[in-house]
Amino acid sequence: MSGARGRDAEELADGHTTASREEARRSRRLSLRLLGSLLHPVRRTAWATVALVVLAQAAQVAGPALVAFGLDHGLPALKDGDAGPITVTTLCYALIAVLGGTLTASVVRVSARVSQAVLLDLRRRVFRHTQLLSLEFHERYTSGRVISRQTSDLDAFRELLDGGVTTLATSVLTMVFTAVSLTLLDWRSGMVLLVAVLPGILLTRHFQVRSQEQYRRSRTASARLIVRFVETMTGIRAVHGFRREAQESHRYAVLAEDYRATSNAAIRLHGRFDTGLTLIGNLTVAVVLLVGGLRVLDGDLTVGALAGAVLYARRFFTPLGQIGMFYNSFQAAVAALEKLSALLAEEPSVPAPLEPVRLPSPRGDVRFEGVEFGYGTGPSVLPRLDLDLPAGRTVALVGETGAGKSTVAKLLARFYDVRGGRVLLDGVDLRDLDPEDLRRAVVMVTQEAYLFSGSVAANIALGRPGATRDEIEAAARAVGVDGFVRSLPAGYDTLVDKRGVRLSAGQRQLVSFARAFLADPALLVLDEATSSLDVPGERLVQEGLHTLLAGRGAVVIAHRLSTVMGADRVLVIEGGRVVEDGSPATLVAAGGRFADLHAEWRASLR
């Protein structure tokens, strides 16, 4: 649902942006290169598909010619007592029918193999690439767009590969072969077709242009309708609470009417196209009959050939209808491919080191040396920060929203890279450190405590894949969530997604603590890990937190003073600088900002 909503909302927003010519050329080049690299590994099968399509269509158009041959040669021969020609014709017809069917069926299979291989390749590439891209990218690009790249855009591309390309190829080939066969049968009738195809092409072209506009309009109309529907249903309590039923109903009815009007126009447009093709086809049959009939009278043409010509003429225009339909899916796929290739062209802003330094047994000493940092091209958040955090201590960062506490945490976990200065772990610049060793040494737990769909055990095991069930349970026991997990319907195997149970924020946070405990890092970074909990909820995780922090270094960012008071050292941050530094007791005694916060907190307990 959220995916669909994001997509539709994006569609509405996309309508307002226009790319310059230069950008358009660049994105076309990118998407062509992507397409080339996707097709390269399957080029043999792709060519085989092309060959199969040609053969299959050749077999399909043989029918009317064989009817003509049977009437003109088989019939007179049989009248003369020779059953040979008609037997051969009939058998040939049957054989070609079977052959044509077989070939068409294999086109379906082989083309599916090609398109599925290409899709799998593309899916993997996009997924891997989005995982590689830094958080900065994800925050800028927004999750909704990343998701619609990987779902709806890939779908648009899939539709083209699945049906579109082969339909187009078969339709064009059918028309070409039909025209060639008819010309071979009787070139004058072929000429009639050649003349008739002109208005057919003009009509198709006209339809394509109109239907593209139409398609865009109906997409916008349906996106509006969907967004309104979703928004109203999501906010149904507010609609009820503020008696907005009538207004919402009216707003929706207006959009529903817009959507109806566009569907109506689309149906009428298709109707005109259908009518035009039927008319052109029927008139062509009449002209072929006229031209052929007159020539039969003159003795220049056999009756069988005339019958064959009429049958060919009747068939000729049907594929044009499918070509007309193809265009919209083609347009959608081109747009999707352009967006996908642009995503794949994004460079990770936190690159892996070329010569990684290994750190097999990290201690957890952290130093910030003259660190300067800001998000994207924005202003500096940390103007110049020097910090020395020796291993094994719990350090709390305190300060107002926007002071730069979370930034320190994110730099520590190398979610971002510094603009100036450097961040060192055990004396190694994070940018040179082997990413795997960094992830083993430093683990960050955030406020959201995200759980993936799957069992509780699998969610804990994320901390260390390959951990045994005993190790997982031991981790859960250590942070005090074991009892709760066992009380779930299926214990550790209980699913925690939409189909399973819903955990409260506190319970989710405990599971994520178990995950971090299992990972057993030298340094733990907790970014507001307890602030989404109510007071008893926080109390619940407090003890787990205590076990988790024991024997390792930790950087803790917290709103709640109850969490902060247990730290070895407190840093008060303001405007990206450390303004107070010392043990909680010292700072309270010193009477500064921290002492004020402490006093407020005490007062609220009274």
Partner 1 sequence: MPFDPGGATSTRPVPRRVGSLVSRLRPWLRPVLPRLVLGGVGSLGASLLALAVPQVLRAVVNGPLADQGEVGAVVAAALLVALLGALEAFLVWSRRALIASPGTTAEREMRTDLFDHLLDLPGTFHDRWSGGQLLSRSMSDLSMLRRWMVFGLVMLVVSASTVLVGVALMLATSWQLGLVYLCGAVPVVWLGFRFRQDYTVVARRARDQAGDLATTVEESVHGIRVLKAFGRGEDALEEFAQQAEDLRGTEITKARTLSRVTFALGTLPEVVLATCLGLGVVLAARGTLSVGDLVAFFATAAVVNAPVERLGHLLAMTMDARAAADRYFEVMDTRSELADPSAPLPVPPAPTGGSRVELDGVHLRFAGQAPGSRDVLDGVDLVIEPGETLALVGLTGSGKSTLLGLVPRLGDVTAGSVRIDGVDVRDLPRAAVRAMVSIAFEDPVLFSAPVSENVLLGVRGLDEAAAEERAREALEIASADFVAELPEGMRTVIGEEGLSLSGGQRQRVALARAIAARPRVLVLDDPLSALDVATEAVVTARLRSALRGTTTLVVAHRPSTVALADRVAVLEDGRITGIGRHTDLLANHAHYRYVLTAQPGQAQGAQDRAR
Tell me which residues in 258-317 interact with partner 1 (CB under 8 A). 259-261, 263-264, 267-268, 270-272, 274-276, 278-279, 281-283, 285-287, 289-290, 293-294, 296-297, 303-304, 306-307, 310-311, 314-315
Give the contact letters, 5-24, x = binds to partner 1 (CB under 8 A), - = no. Answer: x---x--xx-----------
Query: Which listed range, 66-74, 169-177, 358-366, 417-425, lies at the site for partner 1 (CB under 8 A)?
Result: 66-74
- Radius of gyration from C-alpha coordinates of the chain: 35
15 versus 427: smaller Cβ distance to partner 1: 15
Q: Minimum distance from CB of 315 to partner 1 (Å)?
A: 7
Q: Minimum distance from CB of 477 to partner 1 (Å)?
A: 15
Most distant CA atoms of the chain, gap in Å: 124
Count of residues in contact with partner 1, rule CB under 8 A: 164
Q: Minimum distance from CB of 26 to partner 1 (Å)?
A: 26
Q: Minimum distance from CB of 569 to partner 1 (Å)?
A: 23
Binds partner 1 by CB under 8 A, chosen from 23, 29, 40, 143: 143
Binds partner 1 by CB under 8 A, chosen from 29, 33, 40, 128: 128
Pick out residues in 182-211 that bind partner 1 (CB under 8 A).
none
d(CA 503, CA 456): 10
Per the CB < 8 A criterion, the answer to whether 312 and 121 are in contact is no
Pick out residues in 517-576 that bind partner 1 (CB under 8 A).
519, 534-540, 559, 562
Taking CB under 8 A as the rule, does residue 351 contact partner 1? no
d(CA 474, CA 477): 5
Per the CB < 8 A criterion, the answer to whether 511 and 456 are in contact is yes
Handedness of CA 143, 145, 146, 152 (dihedral sign): positive
Q: Minimum distance from CB of 194 to partner 1 (Å)?
A: 19
Pick out residues in 365-384 that bind partner 1 (CB under 8 A).
none
41 versus 370: smaller Cβ distance to partner 1: 41
Buried/exposed 434-469: b ≥16 CB within 10 Å, e otherwise: beebbebbbbbbbbebebeeebbbbbbbbbbeebee
82 versus 388: smaller Cβ distance to partner 1: 82
20 versus 360: smaller Cβ distance to partner 1: 360
Query: What DSSP letter does each residue of 348-394 carry, written as one string?
Result: PSSPPPSSPBP-SS----EEEEEEEEESTTS-EEEEEEEEEE-TT-E
Query: What DSSP letter does each residue of 256-285 carry, written as one string?
Result: HHHHHHHHHHHHHHHHHHHHHHHHHHHHHH
Q: Which amino acid is at 342?
A: A
Phi, psi of 95 (to 5 degrees): -60, -45
User: Dihedral angle at the C-alpha atoms of 54, 60, 64, 67, nearest 10 degrees?
Assistant: 120
Nearest Cα to Cα of residue 415 among 394, 451, 446: 446
Q: Which amino acid is at 513?
A: F
Q: Minimum distance from CB of 165 to partner 1 (Å)?
A: 14
Handedness of CA 126, 127, 132, 136 (dihedral sign): positive
Per the CB < 8 A criterion, the answer to whether 581 and 594 are in contact is no
19 versus 283: smaller Cβ distance to partner 1: 283
Q: Which residue has the tokens 């009380």?
A: 487
- Which H or E run contains 111? helix 84-132
33 versus 109: smaller Cβ distance to partner 1: 109
Nearest Cα to Cα of residue 312 among 464, 144, 456, 179: 179
d(CA 214, CA 416): 45
Q: Minimum distance from CB of 557 to partner 1 (Å)?
A: 14
Pick out residues in 408-467 that bind partner 1 (CB under 8 A).
413, 415, 435-436, 438-440, 443-446, 448, 450, 452-453, 462-463, 465
Pick out residues in 386-405 that bind partner 1 (CB under 8 A).
400-401
Q: Minimum distance from CB of 347 to partner 1 (Å)?
A: 16
533 versus 587: smaller Cβ distance to partner 1: 533
Per the CB < 8 A criterion, the answer to whether 381 and 494 are in contact is no
5 versus 216: smaller Cβ distance to partner 1: 5
Per the CB < 8 A criterion, the answer to whether 181 and 47 are in contact is no
Pick out residues in 41-60 that bind partner 1 (CB under 8 A).
60
Binds partner 1 by CB under 8 A, chosen from 36, 198, 202, 245: 245
d(CA 159, CA 277): 25
Q: Minimum distance from CB of 52 to partner 1 (Å)?
A: 12
Query: Which listed range, 32-40, 195-203, 206-214, 501-509, lies at the site for partner 1 (CB under 8 A)?
Result: 501-509
Q: Give 535: exposed, middle or buried? Use CB within 10 Å, 0-12, 13-18, 19+.
A: exposed
23 versus 213: smaller Cβ distance to partner 1: 213
Binds partner 1 by CB under 8 A, chosen from 4, 30, 342, 579: 4
Nearest Cα to Cα of residue 468 among 447, 492, 450: 492
Q: Minimum distance from CB of 389 to partner 1 (Å)?
A: 18
Binds partner 1 by CB under 8 A, chosen from 235, 374, 390, 491: 235
At 504, is the secondary structure helix, strand, or coil?
coil
Q: Minimum distance from CB of 79 to partner 1 (Å)?
A: 5
Contacts of 501 (CB under 8 A, 6+ apart): 488, 489, 494, 495
Q: Minimum distance from CB of 375 to partner 1 (Å)?
A: 15
Secondary structure E strands in 479-568: 523-527, 553-557
Binds partner 1 by CB under 8 A, chosen from 86, 192, 545, 587: 86
Pick out residues in 459-498 that bind partner 1 (CB under 8 A).
462-463, 465, 483-484, 487, 497-498
Query: Which listed range, 22-30, 190-198, 356-364, 505-513, lies at the site for partner 1 (CB under 8 A)?
Result: 505-513
Give the contact letters, 144-173, x = binds to partner 1 (CB under 8 A), - = no. Answer: --xx--xx----------------------
